[in-house]
Structure 1
Amino acid sequence: MRSLTRMGMRYAMRSLVVIAGVVAAAGSGAVMPANACACGGVVSADSSARVNNESAVLGWDGRRETVLMRLGMQFTGADAALIVPTPTPATVSAASPDSFGELSRMTAPERVTEYDWFGSGSLGGDASGSAPGSGPDVLSQVRLGPLEATTLRGGDLTGVREWLDTNGYRLKPEVSATLDPYLREGWSFVAMRLTSAEPLSGALDPVRLTFDSDRLVYPMRMSAAATTPQSVHLYVFSDRRVARVDPDIEPQTITTEFASPVSEPSDPDLKALAASGNYLTELSIYIPDPATITSDFLLGPAAENAPVRDRVVSKEYVEILGLPAGYVLIVAGLSLIGVIASVVLRRRSARWSERTATRLSGGSCRRAGSRGEVLKRRARVR
């Protein structure tokens, strides 16, 4: 009889922030406080837009970077939107939800069964009044289901903020201020917003961003506008295990959750990402104080290339008649040894007795024979 008990390591849900800034669609009245998230905040006119989870997988072929991003949102009021900085103008297109399902299977914990024969010890901001600025160039605009995505390039902070306000976006001052370093460095932006007023709860179909880059980078500087601790999960395809190499490593907690070569994916998007390297790394990052963020995440080769994978241990308690089988078998084995020893000893004792009797019988015959010879000799003498 076997009783089964599952003892598994908690395998956390993947929650990844890909975005560098979240904005809200314009509405009348003041902007409400932002909901905390690793991208600086989610804002809406009625404070109803919330990002429940964000997931993404990254790949870089040495020249061009690809980001697959999926948002899980809860939304009941005004349009919500977000901004993603990219080093160069990005091409935005729809991605497949199947990519994330296969990614989850790839990084699932290793399942191991252990048999326990002995039990466990128990049996039972506002831009008004500012000078006119240089507005951005609109390079493209696409509709992706309930999302509208616009790729912007150039302009200064005042001009970009005016464009966003005119086109239905409103940024909090502390969030818009984080755009300035990117603009001065010549970065571009993808502005995305929900266009439907219908209530929404759940995951949106993923979005694919592709852009030229001379390094594998994950925009994070806009997250400095956040006011609560942030958590980030990154999945990265490369030719080997990767790690953070930017100057913000020290004040943050970075854990490698998964690192291993993976078999060729069946999903087209993942297959394209793995074409330049099938080594998949998952990093879990905790930022206790977002105000300390000074750099984007930069990713490069890790110092070591050893694989890392969580394990889920299934433990089976093996029992015989309701008792731990190990102890039962030990007792049975000792009893069997005792029986065998007893039989052996009895046989040896019987053999010894038989040999002793034989020796005694043989000695008596020899003595009787000797006595007869003596009598015969005496008779001859007479």
Structure 2
Amino acid sequence: MRTHTVVRLAATAALLLSAVGFGAFAPASACACGGVVSPGNTATVHDEVALAGWDGRRETIVMRLALESGTDHAALIVPTPSPARVSAGSAQTFAELARVTAPEIVTERHWFSGDGGGDTSAAAPPGSGPTVVEQVRLGPIEATTLSGGSLDGLRNWLGANGYAMRPEVTASLDPYLRENWSFVAVKLTGARTLTGALDPIRLAFDSDRFVYPMRMSSAAEDPQTVRLYLLSDHRVRRVDADADTQYNNVEFAGRVEDFEDQDLKDLAAGGHDYLTELSVGIHRPDAITTDFAFAAAPTDDDYRQRVIATEYVEMFGFPAGTVILGAASLAAAVVLVAVVRVVRRRP
């Protein structure tokens, strides 16, 4: 007797939706949290994953980007509701997140072939420049926290400091300036072009609501995708005006204890240990009108994806159920023949 194992998703409909929702997305020219800028528009973000935690007063975002850049001057602009403190993150953070949210594997044993599928505020004076709150070096990147200023003043500062931006990307900064948001400007400082995953960076800032900046992506030329790990005191859902027009899929929801990574420990402290993993896809970036905003979901129901490992049991090269059923049928036939013979012999 031997088994054949076939792995499939328990929910076929969800798999198809994922294929339609994400398979059609191409790498974006502006990342979901801000604007990727470079001379000649030669920088592309291939993958964006972020961890965000909010304790009701202060929010922390740890970002990991996979960047393909044909220049050593690629840069990123990230808006934040208040000036952010920027520091280095750890790749271990996302390795642990992948581990704790991994799908549950369930083995189903099937004895017949073919039975394993189916379940599957006031504006700044014109021309005034921003205030440099802080500037830090993190390996091959330089991060500058900017606050205040007008659109022209900010544009002039960015241009003078090596941030080449398309006009439509620059225009997307204006709504944030009118609301007195700040910005983190990040650029490569090495002498070589960079292709591959950047080390994560951590942005911590005061905020009176749980947000993830998205409006700058309205200038993107391609569909956008982002995967978010959200830590709070309850399961969260999107409540912004764009939520219903974009693809949102919960990949994991549940309380997680005993994190090993320090960033995760810090963000989960004080009962903020409910983790919601959310995948978002945006087919039409030009229709973006707001940042992501999150609030407590109606329930704290847990969710984990389930992967079914289907085992087909065989005997003598045939499905075991068929062999057993056939043997039972043959035995029944032999008994039936014997009974008929006995009946016929009776006088």
Partners of 1:345 and 1:277 lie apart in 2 by 75
- Give 1:290's aligned residue: 285
With normalisation by structure 1, the TM-score equals 0.77
Matched residue SS, 1:100: helix
- Give 1:321's aligned residue: 316
Matched residue SS, 2:245: coil
Determine if contact 2:85/2:203 at 8 Å carries over to the other structure: yes
With normalisation by structure 2, the TM-score equals 0.84
Structure 1, unmatched stretches of 5+, are 17-33, 123-130, 354-382
Asked whether 1:253 is paired with 2:243, we answer no
- Give 2:135's aligned residue: 141
Determine if contact 2:226/2:280 at 8 Å carries over to the other structure: yes
Determine which structure has greater relative contact order: mean sequence separation of CA pairs < 8 Å that are 6+ residues apart, divided by chain length. Answer: 2
Following TM superposition, by how much is the alpha carbon of 1:224 offset from its aligned partner in structure 2, in angstroms? Answer: 1.3
Superposition RMSD in Å: 2.8
- Give 2:120's aligned residue: none
- Give 1:358's aligned residue: none
- Give 2:3's aligned residue: 3
Asked whether 1:188 is paired with 2:194, we answer no
Matched residue SS, 1:250: helix
- Give 1:280's aligned residue: 275
Partners of 2:175 and 2:312 lie apart in 1 by 60
Q: Deviations over 1:139-166 (max 9, x none)?
A: 1111101110011111111111111111
Determine if contact 1:88/1:188 at 8 Å carries over to the other structure: yes
Query: Greater CA deviation, 163-172 or 328-337?
Result: 328-337
- One-letter amino acid of the counterpart of residue 161, structure 1: R
Determine if contact 2:215/2:290 at 8 Å carries over to the other structure: yes
- One-letter amino acid of the counterpart of residue 213, structure 1: S
- Give 1:303's aligned residue: 298
Asked whether 1:215 is paired with 2:213, we answer no
Aligned in 2, Cα 1:73/1:142: closer, same or farther, shift over 3 Å? same
Aligned in 2, Cα 1:156/1:312: closer, same or farther, shift over 3 Å? same
Q: Which has the larger radius of gyration?
A: 1
1:128-207 equivalence runs, <5 A: 133-207=127-201
- One-letter amino acid of the counterpart of residue 275, structure 2: L
Aligned in 2, Cα 1:37/1:187: closer, same or farther, shift over 3 Å? closer
Aligned in 2, Cα 1:227/1:188: closer, same or farther, shift over 3 Å? same
- Give 2:74's aligned residue: 80
Matched residue SS, 1:83: strand
Matched residue SS, 2:51: strand
Partners of 1:204 and 1:138 lie apart in 2 by 24
- Give 2:94's aligned residue: 100
- Give 2:29's aligned residue: 35
Aligned-pair identity in percent equals 55
- One-letter amino acid of the counterpart of residue 7, structure 1: V
Query: Greater CA deviation, 4-13 or 244-253?
Result: 4-13
- One-letter amino acid of the counterpart of residue 291, structure 1: D
Partners of 1:238 and 1:185 lie apart in 2 by 25
Following TM superposition, by how much is the alpha carbon of 1:41 offset from its aligned partner in structure 2, in angstroms? Answer: 5.3
Partners of 1:151 and 1:37 lie apart in 2 by 18
Aligned in 2, Cα 1:118/1:58: closer, same or farther, shift over 3 Å? same
Determine if contact 2:255/2:275 at 8 Å carries over to the other structure: yes
Asked whether 1:90 is paired with 2:80, we answer no
- One-letter amino acid of the counterpart of residue 319, structure 1: E
Give the paired residue count. 322
- One-letter amino acid of the counterpart of residue 134, structure 1: S
Partners of 1:242 and 1:150 lie apart in 2 by 31
Determine if contact 1:40/1:224 at 8 Å carries over to the other structure: no
Asked whether 1:64 is paired with 2:58, we answer yes
- Give 1:238's aligned residue: 232
Structure 2, unmatched stretches of 5+, are 10-14, 23-27, 117-124
Partners of 1:35 and 1:98 lie apart in 2 by 27
